[in-house]
Chain A
């Protein structure tokens, strides 16, 4: 990496976040709230104390896994947005597996849930990736449809065959015994799902950057035709990447069931999957960046409530902030390779990168 790239790596996010904060401040001032106060509240609620950190980390955990769900197939050249669907079917499968093994020791039960969530979630995205590779069905669209189908499946099953008859007014599966649920990291209120998320990101990084398989995957993602010419098993690579991505989302669903709800119900579809798509793109599909971006987004999500309580702002305020931040960060990508004028006055500027990428 040249020093120039290092400089950009810092300067571009700073510019993007600065722009987002400026725009949001203008928005706040426009609607009569104090921008300084609001921004201070967001910071305090996200990172102000160890207490706040835990809140942010709790929310970051599912985002890490859901971010990987888009990022891994994207590295192999398949853009999928089926994270929410894989999340709910993974959670559903985990609940089924967990309930089937409650007679066994807790670790076995959790292992069964882990496997079921990962495999079913993985199959879900692998389906979208496979449909694109073998049948030419655009994976963005098919995985989008699979989200709706997954959620309908969840509703039909928890209100029908899998319903605990005692879950009278809140249809849900039977609960898992507390002993068989995923616990908390000692001394915190953070569940082990965070460990899954961090480990998955690190593993994802290792796979992509340090293994031959990862190199093949990136070649396939960069130029499918070239990959075929050099004899890479393109179909298998695409399917595996889809499976691994889906497995991460399914795992996030498993954590939601095993650590948070203790059973599957409609409530496990809380939208983490959709936010995960953005996490992946803001991280430019890089597993290590996903760690950081998830944490920041987790903090933003954590601050939504305090804006309502302390500033009497509507609940949608935080969505406006998120929207502005995402748009600024995406737009800032354009600055890559163009900040040269700050370090050296003249540097050739490449144009139309976008078209080349298409």
Chain B
């Protein structure tokens, strides 16, 4: 009984494309946030905790207030607060940002799980859908073209960030801070302020990424909701070599890779799904190995991150 609106093997591609559009959104926000943070010379390894905190906050506020947009704002705000806290701690002398990041994962997930217990509401009000596929009869294609407003916003943020890095004074200063803090300081740039601002905005973006998980797709609050995406996005930035536009592309790729396992199985290709599920991680590692070399630094790496290695 072949249904009339099934696309056969083409359906796999549609499913992967649809999955990439849906699944890429948390990656887009977290990787852009991380990219911003790393451009300033810091690593924020705590994105996983911030993502969870954003997800829980968005769901809770949307549930209580009835407005998903308020939930989104709250997630950004809470994310920013966590970023400020992390930035504050890592600015203290002698504090390693990797350690502070791990502490942030534990603290953020702990708080999110603690307060999340009260929000098992089955469904908080969700963000609206932008339907680019109106009038298309095929259900799969139509579903793939139902786009989250956060996706559109994410693209805008990526281009804005790209523009900021390349064309604005603030962006140039930020890159100077990340590349050579001492030189930047001697040029009279407020190094510390730039790093704090970048980390805070970066974490706020991750908070928005979290809100996608609870307010759009899958649209629920569960303790397993992030499943390591916050950590993954950190790797993604390296993969994208610290360029916001490449972060966008890499996020789409990772979103697609995430949809690959389920899509292949739902189209009847099965076996080795653990390996398929690990494919984004393998892919990143292989590409990192191929694109780095001892003599040549990664293009675009902020100087203070490179020297650390």
Instruction: Tell me the bound Cα distance from A350 to B92 in angstroms.
Output: 12
CB <8 Å contact, B102 and A81: yes
Residues of chain B lying within 8 A (CB to CB) of residue A144: 231, 234-235
User: Is B169 located at the chain interface by the 8 A CB criterion?
Assistant: no
Given contacts A81-B98, A139-B309, A351-B93, whether A358 and B181 have CB atoms under 8 Å apart is: yes
User: Is B119 located at the chain interface by the 8 A CB criterion?
Assistant: no
Given contacts A314-B114, A326-B107, A358-B308, whether A149 and B281 have CB atoms under 8 Å apart is: yes
- Smallest CB separation, B51 vs chain A (Å): 15
User: Is B193 located at the chain interface by the 8 A CB criterion?
Assistant: no
User: Is A331 located at the chain interface by the 8 A CB criterion?
Assistant: yes
Given contacts A146-B285, A156-B274, whether A334 and B94 have CB atoms under 8 Å apart is: yes
CB <8 Å contact, B94 and A336: yes
Interface size of A by CB at 8 A reads 57
CB <8 Å contact, B106 and A322: yes
CB-nearest residue of chain A to B235: A141
CB <8 Å contact, A131 and B106: no
- Smallest CB separation, A355 vs chain B (Å): 5
> Which of B49, B102, B111 has the most chain A CB atoms closer than 10 A to its own CB?
B102
Instruction: Tell me the bound Cα distance from A79 to B306 in angstroms.
Output: 13
User: Is B95 located at the chain interface by the 8 A CB criterion?
Assistant: yes
Residues of chain A lying within 8 A (CB to CB) of residue B49: 323
Given contacts A149-B278, A316-B113, A327-B85, whether A281 and B107 have CB atoms under 8 Å apart is: no
Could you write out 20 A-B pairs with CB less than 8 Å apart? Answer: A136-B298, A136-B306, A137-B289, A138-B238, A140-B45, A144-B235, A152-B277, A152-B278, A156-B275, A159-B274, A277-B102, A278-B102, A281-B102, A320-B111, A322-B106, A330-B100, A331-B92, A336-B93, A354-B90, A354-B91
User: Is B108 located at the chain interface by the 8 A CB criterion?
Assistant: yes
Residues of chain B lying within 8 A (CB to CB) of residue A4: none
CB-nearest residue of chain B to A278: B102
Residues of chain B lying within 8 A (CB to CB) of residue A132: 309
CB <8 Å contact, B89 and A137: no
CB <8 Å contact, B281 and A156: no
User: Is A145 located at the chain interface by the 8 A CB criterion?
Assistant: yes
Q: A145-B281, A316-B109 are in contact. List 15 more A-B contacts (CB 8 A).
A: A79-B308, A136-B298, A137-B288, A144-B235, A145-B285, A148-B232, A149-B281, A156-B272, A277-B102, A314-B114, A319-B106, A320-B114, A331-B89, A333-B92, A354-B91
User: Is A317 located at the chain interface by the 8 A CB criterion?
Assistant: yes
Residues of chain A lying within 8 A (CB to CB) of residue B113: 314-316, 319
Residues of chain A lying within 8 A (CB to CB) of residue B297: 136
CB-nearest residue of chain B to A316: B113
Residues of chain A lying within 8 A (CB to CB) of residue B109: 316, 319
Within B78-123, the residues touching A (CB, 8 Å) are 85, 89-96, 98-100, 102-114, 116-117
CB <8 Å contact, A278 and B274: no
CB <8 Å contact, B114 and A317: yes
Instruction: Tell me the bound Cα distance from A358 to B97 in angstroms.
Output: 11
Instruction: Tell me the bound Cα distance from A284 to B307 in angstroms.
Output: 20
CB <8 Å contact, B294 and A135: yes
B281 CB contact (under 8 Å) in A134, A137, A148, A354 = A148
- Smallest CB separation, B47 vs chain A (Å): 12
User: Is B43 located at the chain interface by the 8 A CB criterion?
Assistant: yes
Instruction: Tell me the bound Cα distance from A9 to B84 in angstroms.
Output: 28
CB <8 Å contact, A358 and B304: yes
Within A41-83, the residues touching B (CB, 8 Å) are 79, 81
Interface of chain B, main secondary structure: helix
Q: What's the A-B contact tally at a CB cutoff of 8 Å?
A: 176
CB-nearest residue of chain A to B92: A334
CB <8 Å contact, B294 and A314: no
Within A329-358, the residues touching B (CB, 8 Å) are 330-331, 333-334, 336, 350-355, 357-358
CB <8 Å contact, A274 and B274: no
CB <8 Å contact, B231 and A277: no
CB <8 Å contact, A316 and B92: no
Given contacts A137-B289, A323-B111, whether A334 and B95 have CB atoms under 8 Å apart is: yes
Per-position 1/0 for B213-241, Cβ under 8 A of A: 00000000000000010011011001000
Residues of chain A lying within 8 A (CB to CB) of residue B116: 316
Residues of chain B lying within 8 A (CB to CB) of residue A315: 113
CB <8 Å contact, A354 and B100: no
CB <8 Å contact, A316 and B110: yes
B95 CB contact (under 8 Å) in A137, A146, A333 = A333
CB <8 Å contact, A149 and B282: yes
Per-position 1/0 for A109-152, Cβ under 8 A of B: 00000000000000000000001111111111110111011011
Instruction: Tell me the bound Cα distance from A355 to B180 in angstroms.
Output: 10
Instruction: Tell me the bound Cα distance from A122 to B103 in angstroms.
Output: 25
Residues of chain A lying within 8 A (CB to CB) of residue B181: 355, 358
Instruction: Tell me the bound Cα distance from A334 to B95 in angstroms.
Output: 7
CB-nearest residue of chain A to B236: A141
Residues of chain A lying within 8 A (CB to CB) of residue B231: 144
Given contacts A145-B285, A331-B92, whether A136 and B293 have CB atoms under 8 Å apart is: yes
Instruction: Tell me the bound Cα distance from A302 to B171 in angstroms.
Output: 47
- Smallest CB separation, A137 vs chain B (Å): 5
- Smallest CB separation, A149 vs chain B (Å): 5
Within B254-309, the residues touching A (CB, 8 Å) are 272, 274-275, 277-278, 281-282, 284-285, 288-289, 292-294, 296-298, 304-309
User: Is B18 located at the chain interface by the 8 A CB criterion?
Assistant: no
A327 CB contact (under 8 Å) in B89, B292, B305 = B89
User: Is B71 located at the chain interface by the 8 A CB criterion?
Assistant: no
User: Is A155 located at the chain interface by the 8 A CB criterion?
Assistant: yes
> Which of A137, A145, A146, A278 has the most chain B CB atoms closer than 10 A to its own CB?
A145
User: Is B41 located at the chain interface by the 8 A CB criterion?
Assistant: yes
A142 CB contact (under 8 Å) in B45, B90, B105, B285 = B285
CB <8 Å contact, A320 and B110: yes
